[in-house]
Structures are given as C-alpha cells and as structure tokens.
Amino acid sequence: MAEATHGTGGLKYDHSKRKRPQEFNVLIALVLIVATFEILGQVLPYMEGQSLLFDTGDRFDTIFNEARLRIIILQVAIVGIIALGVTQVIITGGIDLSSGSVVGFTAMVAMSFAQVAEVNGMANPRAIFLDQGWVNLPVVVPVAVGLCVGVFAGLINGSLIAYTGIPPFIATLGMMVSARGAASWWTRGQPVSFPTEGYAAIGAGMMPVVWFLLLAVLFHIVMRYTVYGKHTYAIGSNIDAARMSGINVKRHLTLVYSIAGMLAAVAAIVLSAKNLTAQAGMGIMYELDAIAMAVIGGVSLQGGRGSIIGTVLGALIFGVIISGFTYLKLDAYYQEMVKGAIIVGAVVLDQWRQRRNADRV
C-alpha cells in the first residue's frame, strides 16, 4: 500500500517507524524464555549441559528434541482451545471462570453418549445408558451433545451478564461451582470410560494439536476480519460508544460467552477422547491456565486489546515454562507458585502498558 494513503490532510507518515505489533513483543519474550532455560541448562552443574529444545548430540535426525517439543504443544493444546474462547471474553472486558468446570461436566455428558456396548466380550461395566441401548452410537452424537452442553452453559453465563447486569466475575463463578456440581451429579461421582473407536480418534496422538491450530486459525480470521470480531473489540474498548453505534451489545455478549462455552466443550471432548475416560474432576483450574495464556499473550483484562495470535504465543510461553521446570527438575510445588507469579506479572505489565498509553493522550 502506498504511503500516501495512510494519512490525510497532507501529513507525512513514516511507515518504517510504526510501532511493533504487540504480538511481536510476546514472540521476543518466548525466545528470551527459551534462551534462559538453555543457558541454565549449560550453567547449572547438575544439568550436565542438557538442552531444553535441542538434541544433546546423541541423535542425528534433526537438531530438535522432538519428544519434548511434542510434550510442550500437546500439554498446551487442550487448555489452548479454551484460551481461544477466554480471549474473546476478555476482549469484551469480561472474564470466564467457568471454563474448567464446563470441561468437567461436558466431558462426563459427552463421554456417556460415546461408550461401547462391550469390553473384552463382556457388557461395558461403566456404561451409563446400556439399558436405554444408547451405546455404540456414531461419533456425531456425543460430539453434538457435548457442544450443546457447552453452548448452553455459555448461554446462561452470557444472558446473566448481558440482561441482568451481574458482573462477569460473579456470574461465571456461579457457573464454575454449579457445573462442577453437575459433573459429579451426572454419574454420582463415577468415572465414565470405554469410548468408541471413532470418539477416541478425536483425541488420539497429535490430534489435540491439530484441533487447537485449526480453531486458532478459524478464530483468528473471525476476530480480525468479521463484524463479530470488530464488535467484540468495540464493546471492550468503549461499551457506551458501541451501544450508541447501534450494536446490540446484549445479544453480542451472549454470543461471545456462548462461543467461549462451545470452545470449552471442544476441549472437553478432545481431552476425554485422549484420556479414554471422563471424571467429574476433569479440567480443574483450567480456567486460570487459559486466562494466564491470554494475559501472557497480551490480552488486556481491561478489554479492547489482544489477539488470537497473541494467545497462541502466550500458550507456547506457558508450555515452555512448565516443561522448562520439569527439565530443570524443579518440584511441582514450585511450578504452581511460579505459575501464579507469572499471571500476576503479566497483569501488572498490562496495567503499566495501559497507563503509559493513557498518559500520552
């Protein structure tokens, strides 16, 4: 695009000096974090010169340590799917604390429609709907049921927030508790296992990563190039301006939370298919991990700012840090504590950025 088209009124604009996009800074942070772990691997005596991402010289196929890379992306893929929805919610200026519990409940429900009739020639001991004959169903049934559960939970969140004015924090906190309760109630606490091959295939091998990337591309396009995306940003940026512009803010918020619920359901289906089982405790704390990924990726908790690309990078940073701690042989206790510190740090960074922006006006 010619430079002259950027400005009006004859003002010159130096395109080469424009500000870097936020995502670029996140990418730099990712590289720096990887570098830090690599250096620690060389420096700490007990590490014996091991590398985080690169082969240590014993193999000749590629220079990367594929096993660890695979673990990192598999680890973040499922929570990453949730983070795609959480990103949209946070961009509207809201928050969704219910996604982890929605994962639990959805996994239970979807799995109970995905069970086989027989295991090793005997009736499936865990089958929920054996008497009804709802076993060996085609894979679309559990998937459709699961998605409906997720959308329904999101719909309740969204309508509560949009139409009754309950703060998102409270509304989704309520859903967090209720959906977790529903997950236990569904089978009175029993796990649900033995899915059909078709269902299991959804989560087999690297499939979680495939779903994550596909959905990331889809929602990148949606947020960047569609009216839905534009209105999502507008609401988070200035809800009064959005309302005055004729945007149906209530309906839009309901839609955003419903999509977040649907993405939590996708995560639940992929997760239960991968584990071949569902339990009421599935997905505990996932909501916080998903929020952390978004915030690390530059999504502002004050709304209006952030992107899907940022969140994907944030998810990678998250995965690298967790893997890095295992690689440095640090206790899981430290991992949790540091995770908390990272979330707080990202929020502080965001507020500092916002204030700097505000000062310039």
Partner 1 sequence: MIDADMTNTDKVILETRDLTKHYGGVHALEGADFVLHQGEHVAIMGDNGAGKSTFVRQITGVEQPTRGEIIFDGAPVQFVGPLEARRAGIEAVFQTLALADHLNVADNLFLGREKTKWDWLGPFRFLDYKRMHKETVAALEKTGVKIPNIHNTIQNMSGGQRQCVAIARTASFHSKLTIMDEPTAALGVQETEQVENIVRTLKEQNEPLILVSHNMRQVMDLVDRIVVFRRGRIVANLDRDQTDGQDVVAYITGAKTQPEYDIDGAA
Binding segment (CB under 8 A) for partner 1, from list 145-153, 238-246, 290-298, 344-352: 238-246
Other CB atoms within a 10 A radius of the CB of residue 186 amount to: 20
Residue 269 to residue 106: CA distance in whole angstroms: 7
Q: Half-sphere exposure of 47 toward its Cβ, with a 13 Å CA cutoff?
A: 20
Least separation in angstroms between residue 347's CB and partner 1 is: 18
How many chain residues bind partner 1 (CB under 8 A)? 38
The helix (run of H) or strand (run of E) holding residue 119 is strand 118-119
- Closest to partner 1 by CB, 57 vs 246, is 246
Query: CB 11 → partner 1: shortest distance, Å?
Result: 4
Is 331 buried (19+), middle (13-18) or exposed (0-12) by CB count in 10 A?
Answer: exposed
| Cα–Cα dist 264/149, whole Å | 10
CB of 235 to partner 1, least distance (A): 8
Q: Does 81 bind partner 1 (CB under 8 A)?
A: no
Binding of partner 1 by 12 (CB under 8 A):
yes
Backbone angles phi, psi at 98, to 5 degrees: -95, -10
Q: Residues for the chain: how many in total?
A: 361
The three-state (H, E, C) secondary structure of 16-60, written as one string = HHCCCCHHHHHHHHHHHHHHHHHHHHHHCHHHCCCCCCECCCCCC
Is residue 8 within the footprint of partner 1 (CB under 8 A)? yes
Residue 47 as a binder of partner 1 (CB under 8 A): the answer is no
Task: State which of positions 189-228 bind partner 1 (CB under 8 A).
Answer: 222, 225-228
Structure tokens at 142: 């559990």
Residue 357 in contact with partner 1, rule: CB under 8 A: yes
Of the two residues 274 and 305, which places its CB atom closer to partner 1 in the complex? Answer: 305
Beta pairing, strands 118-119 & 192-193: unpaired
What is the x/- site pattern for partner 1, positions 262-301, by CB under 8 A? ----------------------------------------
In the complex, least distance from residue 13 CB atom to partner 1, rounded to whole angstroms? 4
Stretch that binds partner 1, among 125-133, 169-177, 241-249, 345-353 (CB under 8 A): 241-249
Q: Which one of 84, 182, 255, 301 is in contact with partner 1 (CB under 8 A)?
A: 255
Binding status of residue 246 toward partner 1 by CB under 8 A: yes
Radius of gyration of the chain measured on its C-alpha atoms:
22
Report if residue 133 touches partner 1, rule: CB under 8 A: no
Whether the Cβ atoms of residue 180 and residue 104 lie closer than 8 Å to each other = yes
Does 135 help bind partner 1 (rule: CB under 8 A)?
A: no
Give the nearest distance from C-beta 159 to partner 1 in angstroms. Answer: 16
Is 257 near partner 1 (CB under 8 A)? no
Q: State the binding string over 305-344 for partner 1 (x if CB under 8 A, else -).
A: x---------------------------------------
Looking at residue 114, its amino acid is: A
Binding status of residue 240 toward partner 1 by CB under 8 A: yes
Does 237 participate in binding partner 1 (rule CB under 8 A)?
A: yes
- Rama region for 165: left / alpha / beta (φ>0; ψ in -120 to 50; rest): left
Helix, strand or coil, per DSSP, at residue 149: helix
